[in-house]
A and B are shown apart, each in its own frame.
Chain A
């Protein structure tokens, strides 16, 4: 065993407030600010902030040999900026050590990779810009919402210029293969793949403080022992987990922070290193290709997309949402764009799951609603209102192509008008100069007639007021000049 790769996910959705059908068409604010503030602040205090401090200490103590990777969704970043700005500073400090790699993902932690290619590309771009803007890093490795991955997604991601992606080591995909190697995609051979080692990741994320677990208590030397005893030829162990594992899922008193802090020392003893995803992708060569015809993820027992798209409620909500995607992208309204992002968070659909048993418990644990039906109703009420607003921007009886042609025409004309206005202004000045006799030039004379015609034509199109307003200052200027 050569190396451990730690990757942490940070994501929070903008939870919706109780939005009744009466509010449709009347109330355009959808979010439960109190809950969102309370939850992110609580998790940051208990988990994100102390965990950041822990990582910083570990990096400092181990002379930069300890490295980790993060993916932080755009919505989580927005909430953290808003409610826990000190976290952003602490993250910047971590980033400055050079031992932290930021991964790319969709801005809204959305399902767009499955539903809307254009939206997907736009969101990934928006997310990476935000990461660059805050942390000064350009993500090179992609990780999709909840590790959702398929051949189709691989092709998209590869064409967007990413050299690698990370996903789940789902058993039904791997079969006899081990997740502890670097793979590449069969659909896009250039795209390298890192797979989550479910057993070792969940030992930390879910079983660490479980007293009924046979291996309880888990200590750092025991854990590193397990890893170092893996076959020599296996190269990497990918430990992927939610960041709130530290302090929230595994409370501080369980000793999780001390466990982590002790890892590098034992790892060093056994010669196990810590690598970031892009480091692995540079250092190692893929051992084999992986074919993933239908999407996988790291959620639920099934490790597929049924956590978000498993029942009719979820399918209907997602379908309705993305049915207006193209229309929304034509809009320029900032608030519509923002709501569009927030409504895409996969969490909203996660809450609508009607699964039972242990999967169902996970869904209801995270859900702010008492039942999937309430979750659906609330979301659909909000979406109905949102769709009314989009409709109000551009009525739906004009189809998208026509609308986009019209918008293009308007944009072109606006640019043309501006250019012509500038020309007119220039001409006027020349005329003034002519009249005052500063210059005597033959050439402008024939041109003079031309712009004037244009100007008249424009006046017909543009609102009368604007025309008058533009003329007035010009006249004044002329008069002044005469005096």
Chain B
């Protein structure tokens, strides 16, 4: 598998989903996974997949001894693998900037020279594809499609791409032509395309012109929460708390949340609104909240990660995700795991599989405000959504998603 993020060092939902699926596949048994990421940190969970870092894969032959390799990258990779990979360097990449081990540096993030990093990742993939023995290539999201294509060209093995999002979701329609071209290329080369929702499946078919027969939906799932997260404690609070958790970008529809909050606050006073996350629309949202005169009740909590997320959820009475376009949207499932009633937009992929949530159109501020009011005012509403939501999300498991993936692999191999 080629991926860009892997827990615990994640920047968005992609890493969580890639890991969940990996684990889900392994739980079904009889499947070994090699997972390639740009830059491992050494603390990634290793029990489900062998992790290879693109930044520790040599593309230029350097004469280095075992001890040196061990001291440099021993925390993330077995030195023997380094030598195996070094034996499969297939071309002269001396023109590239490489380090003392003959490896290319990766940031593993989303830097400004992302396209250059993508290209390097694809070069590295060529080495790995020649070294590692495998039956199927699986690429997570557009960043790794070129690497997957390369691996397919080298080995002729079936190539699956996993569409976690398309550029139509990220840009509300103003597609970046370069990204579109990479996505389209990946889809054309793929033997099968897995999408995270039917919504995304339609996008792939309609906007990218892909044959529907090679596109399948495998909905995302969630990991059961650890005791640590389930039992987080929060200080006692006096007000109801309504929470938005996610990147503050156009795609997530933050402005509809602010408007709905303003409506609710006209009627009830003992409620606080929290927008947790960072993004390019944050300042605009702060200004909007101030303009609506609700700044003292509307808080920006910044980017939360790990345990902080669950502390925030634990303190919440309502979770809201008004995304304009959400291929799947895993955060409402996490909120439900914490027993928080959730309001999601009908334009979210997860709306396809969730029943015990309130679904509204992202633009329908009235309905959103009405739903928030209802949950914080009528105890039965809160309890019904909380208890049934918990029971429902408990049945959405990666293992089932993994099974579907395996079935797709098997069809491609035989």
Contacts and interface: CB of A to CB of B under 8 A. Distances in A.
Interface string A369-388: 01101101110110010000
Contact of B374 (A311, A312, A370, A380): A380
Contacts of B388: 354
B358 A20 contact: no
A354 B356 contact: yes
Contacts of B384: 311-313, 354, 373, 376
Interface stretch (B15-23, B129-137, B216-224, B363-371): B363-371
Nearest to B359: A371
B379 A21 contact: no
Given A312-B384, A373-B385, A22 B263 contact: yes
Contacts of A376: 374, 378, 380-381, 384
B91 interface: no
Interface string A15-50: 000001110100000000000000000000000000
Interface in B379-408: 379-381, 383-385, 387-388
Contact of A371 (B264, B358, B370, B379): B358
Interface in A369-417: 370-371, 373-374, 376-378, 380-381, 384
Contact of B358 (A315, A317, A356, A373): A373
A412 B367 CA distance: 50
Interface of B is mostly: helix
Interface residues of A, number: 22
Contacts of B356: 354
B373 interface: yes
B267 to A, nearest CB: 6
A167 to B, nearest CB: 29
A93 interface: no
Given A313-B384, A356-B355, A371-B359, A20 B370 contact: yes
A196 to B, nearest CB: 31
Given A312-B384, A354-B388, A21 B355 contact: no
Nearest to B266: A22
Interface residues of B, number: 25
A370 B384 CA distance: 17
A316 B266 contact: no
Nearest to A311: B384
Nearest to B383: A312
Interface in A307-366: 311-313, 315-317, 354, 356
B345 to A, nearest CB: 13
Contact of A373 (B366, B369, B374, B383): B374
Contacts of B381: 313, 316, 373, 376-377, 380
Contacts of A380: 374, 377-378, 381
B355 A377 contact: no
Contacts of A384: 377
A21 B368 CA distance: 11
A356 B373 CA distance: 26
A374 B378 contact: no
Interface string B250-277: 0000000000000110110000000000
Interface in A440-481: none
A21 B369 contact: yes
Interface in B318-369: 355-356, 358-359, 366-367, 369
Contacts of B359: 370-371
A21 B373 CA distance: 7
B359 to A, nearest CB: 7
A370 B359 CA distance: 9
Nearest to B381: A376
Nearest to A378: B370
A21 B380 contact: no
Q: Which of A315, A370, A377, A384 has the most CB of B within 10 A?
A: A377
B380 A377 contact: no
A374 B380 contact: no
Contacts of A315: 380
A21 to B, nearest CB: 4
Contacts of B366: 20
Contacts of A378: 370
B358 A312 contact: no
A384 B268 CA distance: 14
A57 B236 CA distance: 72
Contacts of A22: 263, 266-267
A16 to B, nearest CB: 13
Contacts of A21: 264, 267, 369-370, 373-374, 377
B393 to A, nearest CB: 15
Q: Which of B359, B367, B373, B384 has the most CB of A within 10 A?
A: B384
Nearest to B367: A374
A370 B387 CA distance: 21
A312 B380 contact: yes
Nearest to B385: A373
B344 to A, nearest CB: 12
Contacts of A374: 358, 367, 371
Q: Which of B356, B377, B380 has the most CB of A within 10 A?
A: B380
A374 to B, nearest CB: 7
B374 A316 contact: no
A43 B387 CA distance: 39
A373 B371 contact: yes
Q: Which of A316, A373, A378 has the most CB of B within 10 A?
A: A373
A316 B384 CA distance: 10
A380 B371 CA distance: 11
Nearest to B268: A21
Nearest to B343: A373
B357 to A, nearest CB: 8
B354 to A, nearest CB: 11
A315 B384 CA distance: 11
Contacts of B267: 21-22, 24
B358 A316 contact: no
B380 A316 contact: yes
Interface in A40-88: none
A321 to B, nearest CB: 12
A24 B267 CA distance: 9
B33 to A, nearest CB: 35
Interface in A274-318: 311-313, 315-317
Given A370-B359, A373-B381, A377-B371, 18 more contacts: A21-B264, A21-B369, A21-B370, A21-B377, A22-B266, A22-B267, A312-B384, A313-B381, A316-B379, A354-B384, A354-B388, A371-B358, A374-B358, A374-B367, A374-B371, A376-B378, A377-B374, A377-B378
20 contacts: A21-B267, A21-B369, A21-B370, A24-B267, A312-B380, A312-B384, A316-B379, A316-B380, A317-B380, A371-B359, A373-B371, A373-B374, A374-B367, A376-B374, A376-B380, A376-B384, A380-B378, A380-B381, A381-B370, A381-B373
Q: Which 10 A-B pairs have the closest CB atoms?
A: A316-B380, A377-B374, A21-B373, A312-B384, A312-B380, A373-B358, A380-B378, A313-B384, A313-B380, A20-B370
